[in-house]
């Protein structure tokens, strides 16, 4: 396992938010490795386990057979599956699609394509192969792979995918800046989410905001949390997220400053936000201002109707980063402007059209939408972002 393995859990996200364009690898099909042939043990795997294990082993042995886009997409589609098997009782699953497993298995199969899929299906993988894989990966903290093998398999698979999409140069954790923590904060023991809140507000809030919805990924949003496991968050806090050299703000590592209980309490606190969002008084940062400026909020199905009607007086304006627009996917036919270029390119849109702003998590587009409304544009906002359109609802996307 690579030295930087613990960093990789967050790579897709970190990469999507700020990385510039990267060159996709050219595919070069090769033979399925011997490691994938049948094992003496006959115990069969469930179809999901077989598909997951077959895919990661193929990736491991024949990296060049996969295009970068495939790896990206599979990392995304394995995440909701992992959530189905996550033993964490604090996860909210209510209201989430009952067909998660079928939906994402189908999508993964589509990304693999008929040839790779056939090879995976024809490979006889048994429980012994799966245990072997789990054993090789068991260093990932706090995944009890003996007790929850299917979850562990999915968690490790997501990690393996992320490792493949690592930007080549990330800041070494040991070169990350030191961070001062006051003794009064250091002495909070980390018994529970309440301690986690105090630790978060005393340490993390300086960058992420007291509400966790600062300018970095909005780490308390439900849409963000739904894609991240607690284990992933633990590793991010311990080692800092992977960041590119030259990043303007670098997140420190906390493994030498906080003990594991303290880190876990922060992770638990972040998770409580999934519940918090059920309370109508917890509105997103910027939501009240946007509504005051008369930005109209649309649900994802409403946007789908508008999109299908192809109305000439509506502009669907996607404000995701370039990489997210291209790799994470966008609604076909939308206009794309990078948030930084918005002022420069705004002239292209006439004021008698309604501009509907689209972002990734249903949070970061609120401020620009409000600004547009204040400038006199008629503005709408797709309330739940591409996470809902693409990942939750599986509505049409283009890359
Ligand atoms: C000095 C500023 C700073 C501090 C303090 C800080 N962070 Fe961060 N954090 C960042 C930056 C910058 C990013 C964005 C990294 C990226 O995407 O490149 C980030 C990203 C994250 C992410 C998302 C990573 C991903 O890729 O999905 C999480 C989760 C996170 N921080 C949690 C925390 C927690 C919890 C604390 C407190 C223990 C904390 N951060 C303290 C600056 C900070």
Question: Domain of 239: which CATH number?
Answer: 1.10.760.10
**pLDDT of residue 349 exceeding 50:** yes
337 and 377 both lie in a single domain: yes
**pLDDT of residue 399 exceeding 90:** no
- Compute the distance between CA of residue 261 and CA of residue 281 in angstroms, rounded to an integer: 30
109 and 223 both lie in a single domain: no
- Say if 282 falls within a structural domain: no
- How many CB atoms are closer than 10 A to CB 275? 13
**pLDDT of residue 4 exceeding 90:** no
Confidence of residue 41 (pLDDT cuts 50, 70, 90): low
- Say if 347 falls within a structural domain: yes
27 and 155 both lie in a single domain: yes
238 and 195 both lie in a single domain: yes
Residue in 11, 216, 234, 256 to alter for ligand 1 test, most ligand atoms within 8 A of Cβ: 216
- Say if 117 falls within a structural domain: yes
**Considering 276, 304, 338, which residue would you say is the last residue of a domain?**
276
pLDDT score at 148: 93
Higher-scoring residue by pLDDT: 94, 48:
48
77 and 189 both lie in a single domain: no
- Which residue, among 278, 221, 272, has the nearest Cα to 95 in the 3D structure? 278
- Compute the distance between CA of residue 27 and CA of residue 25 in angstroms, rounded to an integer: 6
272 and 351 both lie in a single domain: no
pLDDT score at 24: 34
What's the average model confidence in pLDDT over 36-60?
A: 83
- The rounded Å distance from CA 68 to ligand 1 centre is 25
**pLDDT of residue 102 exceeding 60:** yes
**Considering 140, 164, 188, which residue would you say is the last residue of a domain?**
164
- Say if 328 falls within a structural domain: yes
3-state secondary structure 99-111: CHHHHHHHHHHHH
30 and 103 both lie in a single domain: yes
154 and 180 both lie in a single domain: no
Higher-scoring residue by pLDDT: 233, 328:
233
pLDDT score at 323: 80
**Considering 138, 164, 190, which residue would you say is the last residue of a domain?**
164
Q: Say which residue the tokens 């999409």 belong to.
A: 165
Domain count, the chain: 3
pLDDT (tens digit per residue) in 279-306: 989 999 999 999 999 999 999 999 999 9
143 and 53 both lie in a single domain: yes
326 and 356 both lie in a single domain: yes
For the ranges 6-10, 150-154, 349-353, the maximum mean pLDDT occurs at 150-154
**pLDDT of residue 27 exceeding 80:** no
What's the average model confidence in pLDDT over 121-128?
A: 94
- Compute CA distances 345 → 170, 201, 341, 348, 376, whole Å: 32, 38, 6, 6, 16
Higher-scoring residue by pLDDT: 99, 26:
99
Token duo for residue 10: 């967050």
pLDDT score at 23: 31
Confidence of residue 93 (pLDDT cuts 50, 70, 90): confident
pLDDT (tens digit per residue) in 49-73: 999 999 999 999 999 999 888 898 8
- Which residue, among 80, 83, 74, has the nearest Cα to 55 in the 3D structure? 74
- Compute CA distances 330 → 13, 72, 220, 317, 347, whole Å: 16, 14, 23, 10, 22
- Compute the distance between CA of residue 358 and CA of residue 79 in angstroms, rounded to an integer: 22
178 and 155 both lie in a single domain: no
- How many CB atoms are closer than 10 A to CB 331? 20
- Say if 6 falls within a structural domain: no
In ligand 1, which atom is closest to the CA atom of 243? 18
Residue in 251, 256, 262, 364 to alter for ligand 1 test, most ligand atoms within 8 A of Cβ: 251
**pLDDT of residue 82 exceeding 80:** yes
- Say if 28 falls within a structural domain: yes
Domain span holding position 193: 173-276
Residue owning the nearest CA to atom 10 of ligand 1: 251
pLDDT (tens digit per residue) in 365-391: 999 999 999 999 999 999 999 999 988
What's the average model confidence in pLDDT over 342-358?
A: 90
pLDDT score at 141: 66
Q: How many helices (H) and strands (E) would you count in the chain? A: 18, 5
**One-character DSSP codes across 4-26:** GGGGGGGHHHHHHHH----PPPP
- Say if 281 falls within a structural domain: no
Contacts (Cβ under 8 Å, ≥6 apart) of 308: none
230 and 348 both lie in a single domain: no
What's the average model confidence in pLDDT over 204-208?
A: 94
- The rounded Å distance from CA 208 to ligand 1 centre is 7
Residue owning the nearest CA to atom 32 of ligand 1: 237
């Amino acid at each position: 396992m690579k030295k930087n393995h613990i960093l990789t859990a967050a790579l897709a996200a970190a990469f999507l938010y700020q990385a510039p364009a990267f060159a996709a690898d050219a595919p070069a099909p090769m033979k399925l490795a011997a490691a994938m042939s049948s094992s003496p043990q006959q115990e069969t795997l469930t179809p999901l386990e077989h598909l997951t294990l077959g895919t990661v082993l193929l990736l491991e042995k024949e990296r060049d057979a996969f295009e970068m886009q495939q790896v990206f997409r599979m990392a995304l589609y394995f995440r909701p599956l992992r959530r189905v098997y996550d033993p964490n009782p604090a996860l909210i699953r209510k209201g989430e699609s009952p067909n998660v497993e079928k939906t994402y298995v189908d999508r993964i199969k589509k990304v693999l394509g008929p040839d790779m899929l056939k090879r995976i299906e024809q490979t006889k993988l048994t429980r012994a192969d799966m245990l072997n894989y789990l054993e090789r990966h068991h260093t990932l903290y706090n995944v009890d792979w003996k007790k929850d093998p299917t979850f562990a398999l999915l968690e490790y698979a997501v990690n393996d995918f992320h490792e493949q999409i690592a930007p080549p140069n990330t800041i070494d954790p040991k070169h990350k800046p030191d961070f001062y923590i006051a003794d009064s904060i250091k002495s909070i023991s980390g018994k529970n989410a309440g301690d986690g809140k105090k630790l978060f507000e005393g340490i993390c809030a300086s960058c992420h905001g007291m509400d966790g919805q600062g300018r970095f990924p909005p780490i308390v949003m439900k849409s963000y949390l739904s894609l991240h496991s607690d284990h992933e968050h633990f590793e991010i806090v311990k080692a800092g997220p992977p960041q590119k050299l030259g990043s303007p703000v670098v997140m420190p590592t906390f493994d030498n400053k906080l003990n594991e209980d303290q880190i876990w309490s922060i992770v638990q606190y972040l998770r409580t936000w999934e519940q918090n969002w059920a309370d109508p008084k917890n509105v997103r940062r910027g939501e009240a201002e946007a509504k005051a400026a008369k930005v109209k909020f649309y649900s994802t199905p409403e946007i789908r109707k508008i999109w299908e009607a192809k109305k000439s007086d509506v502009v669907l304006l996607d404000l995701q980063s370039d990489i997210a627009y291209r790799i994470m996917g966008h609604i076909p036919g939308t206009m794309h402007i990078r948030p930084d270029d918005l002022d420069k390119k705004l002239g292209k849109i006439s004021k008698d059209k309604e501009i509907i702003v689209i972002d990734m998590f249903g949070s970061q587009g609120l401020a620009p939408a409000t600004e547009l409304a204040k400038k006199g544009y008629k503005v709408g906002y797709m309330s739940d972002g591409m996470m809902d359109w693409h990942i939750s609802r599986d509505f049409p996307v283009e890359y």
